[in-house]
Structure 1
């Protein structure tokens, strides 16, 4: 058998998974500081939910993994966490609002592969359901600013309102039936450049003069400052008052369910050119899942774990990744394995992440093992130490050794690692 992963999928060895878990823990902490509560939904959704009118739209469905169960029902792998949230709220219409939830999980898109983008990837979402206040939009952007401050990543937040785009379409005299096609093409501006955007719009059936007028307006921040879309955006910008937040009329966000404010977050001075986080207001989707009987406003933001990790790895290029979570490796003499296990348990109860050399092949082999995994401390359990009711603590970085009680070891390790 030729052992290979499916294209666009990957394994994460411990040294990478440890860093991923650290990032997720920081995101969870900040989500909860902002009052968001956790939610979990299935990876597989019914196709009619994924393809509903106010879901992701034509472009995203082209990248959706589709499958059929044994009962002949059409299903798909979720391509984001927003559609499952809308479906959840639709199935639980009596939930108290505003409902603030976060969810961290894998999503799937059968699209092109590039640096920072795979076909299975994590999204880390925070959404506010049931509030139409522009302060809710500002809250999501402020959350992003705080997240990247915690990661020490310098960012710029591009922000716009979808209504600005609709006004651009009308001003360019683009027929209404081509509205979404024009916006989808504009969404690729940073990736393919202005000439290719115009060429694509013409291929979609839009007249060249209209396409050029549309693109010109999207690149002129002054042209639509009196528009309805910008008037909706002003209170969001006023609430934030941050130079890192920049109004960008050309920002489109490809997903068709957005109805108002939209934003994308980019790292400055990084080889990772894709967005690190993105989101916006989607006031129609959830009501659609309720059959259109009620309009339920919602706004949210999604953090891309993969591109964030790529940026962090760039920043930490000179720092080795941790190969294990183990903080102390206990090496007992061959006749003292039971005593070694007892030491392990006492350290674990003190909150120290501890492993033990079960083989008891000897001190030299144990030290080599600890060194290979860059375990910071070793505890040696030998006859002389046991006779004194103590153990030997070795700092693997400095080589310093101390004769200590187990309680003293726990305190020393905790202090040095803090």
Structure 2
């Protein structure tokens, strides 16, 4: 499979970059200013981790990156601008927050003119408070050549972009942009994680792209657990030790009647699916053989933060920058006890490969993992984009030949 060229901003620990790499994109540069995240990538390069071995990492502020140093056309520009300005758990300052780096992504689009771009951000970006700014983001991505004037506010620039959109029918000047709020669990990630994804393809490519259809469903998990029992059998859990079917699910099936929902899609993956083969971290002898699988004491439940049950996808892993340290990054046992996920368990819930090592402390590693894009979800989206770019290139070759 031939590689397409890509460039990634705000790389973090590399979840999105890994997914894009696996999908067939070759990173010409990755930009990340956080020294701990950069140390994680470099440590894995030092260890010979194949997936990251040829990454060209630039530890610097994106605002200082010179795109004129990038050679050749970039097929995909990817990145997840810092989410804290729009996170539901953050301070909600949005575009007033100095960490709002969307303007830097706009600059990258203008200067690189990539065939496609991919952006990931928190679902708070589309909340009511920020809806006008979100529309501004989409329009600026639609028409990156319509730059803001000196000292022009984003609101005034939005008005000008709207006027431009109404007066220009030639869509070859910009990008065809689409966005969607995706739940990672719907794509085989063992975690309920809703994030906004924005994808744009250059208008001159005439490519009609849409997000991949979900491959996994909650309905199928319900079917495998409570109707056929396949889920419990797969994990070797005898009927005597299986929990009872929840009343709300029993009532639901009595109303609807049994249906073959389980045969259509794959079931959501659960915490048990992801980590059951790992030895308990409390067993220091066995756990010591697994990198990053170290028991962390002190976990406790508190209102709104009760951990993730074994037999559901994990709750959204948090970066740990707000609330009680650890937040939801806990495993909840049926008897009500909780313990922190180890770094290796959290990495699995984000679908990082087992040979990807996190050299920092538990808290710093969890921050990097909680901020990351699940590798498998990034792979699915990036593969769809690459497939479309291949189809465009093939059609252009045919037209040229004719």
Structure 1 length as normaliser, TM-score? 0.22
Q: Is the radius of gyration larger for structure 1 or structure 2?
A: 1
- Higher RCO, 1 vs 2 (CA within 8 Å, ≥6 residues apart): 2
Higher strand content, 1 or 2: 1
Structure 2 length as normaliser, TM-score? 0.22
